[in-house]
A = this chain, B = another copy of it.
Amino acid sequence: MSNSLPKSLQKVALFLERLPGIGEKSANRLAFYLLRMPDGDLKNFADNVAELKARTKRCQICMNLTEEDLCSICDTPSRDRSQITVVEDVLDLLSMETGNIYNGLYHVLHGRIDPLNHIGPENIFIDQLFERVKSEGSNLGVPVKEIILATNPDMEGEATAMYIRNKLQEIQHSKGLDFDISRLGYGMPMGGNLEYADYMTLRKALENRRGF
């Protein structure tokens, strides 16, 4: 950013420039826009940003983000608790929640297995999923009937889905449990990302889910 500008404005713009998808010109524009906003709004925003990390924690059941012990999805009794959709990220969960296409629970991995970037199963929230399957107490007292693997349809997502399927099958054999394992069906283009999919595509993928 040009140093023809006040330091405080430069600092805000430089921070905004670090965010994904925001270049130098956009960062400047946004900083100026902030400067023109009412004082109260800016103050609130600053407080909310400062509190963001302190207030937010993971749901005890599904690892979704929440300010309570349970997230708003696990806390809704009308949802089908016997069905769990496994997603990589909260943004993927948000995509699934548009358009009223799904009424089960989730499990948020907060990542995917990615050996090239040194991310193994132990670095994401994968064991918590196996616990939910093994013990009904870890799934709000409801036995699991179906696990839908909705990791992204790219190399790491597929590998993560396969890893989870294999582990789930081991658990089925050792514990004598009976539940379906499926993968989101055709409809999602390979190499795509759930986060940017429209809900019609997601509905198609959900309808066409297949045994895995």
Instruction: Indicate whether A20 sits within 8 Å of B29 (C-beta atoms), given known contacts A42-B49, A43-B50.
Output: yes
- Bound-state CA distance A22–B28 (Å) is 14
- Bound-state CA distance A196–B23 (Å) is 12
One digit per residue, 1 when the CB lies within 8 angstroms of any chain B CB and 0 when it does not, for chain A 1-43 equals 0111111110110010001111001101111111100010111
List residues of A (160-178) whose CB comes within 8 Å of B's CBs. Answer: none
Shortest CB–CB separation between residue A46 and chain B, in angstroms?
Answer: 4
- Bound-state CA distance A2–B195 (Å) is 13
- Bound-state CA distance A50–B28 (Å) is 17
Q: A41 contacts which chain B residues (CB < 8 A)?
A: 15
Q: Is the CB of A56 within 8 A of B6?
A: yes
Choose among B5, B12, B20, B45 the residue that contacts A94 (Cβ–Cβ < 8 A): B5
Identical copies of this chain, number: 2
Quick check: is A131 within 8 A (CB to CB) of the other chain? no
Quick check: is A129 within 8 A (CB to CB) of the other chain? no
Quick check: is A118 within 8 A (CB to CB) of the other chain? no
Question: Besides A5-B65, A6-B67, A46-B47, 14 other CB < 8 A contacts?
Answer: A4-B71, A4-B73, A5-B94, A8-B48, A8-B52, A8-B67, A9-B52, A12-B49, A12-B52, A15-B41, A21-B26, A22-B30, A32-B89, A47-B50
Can you list 17 A-B pairs, Cβ within 8 angstroms, ordered by A? A2-B98, A3-B72, A4-B72, A4-B97, A6-B56, A8-B56, A9-B52, A12-B45, A12-B48, A12-B52, A19-B30, A25-B195, A25-B196, A29-B91, A32-B90, A42-B49, A43-B50
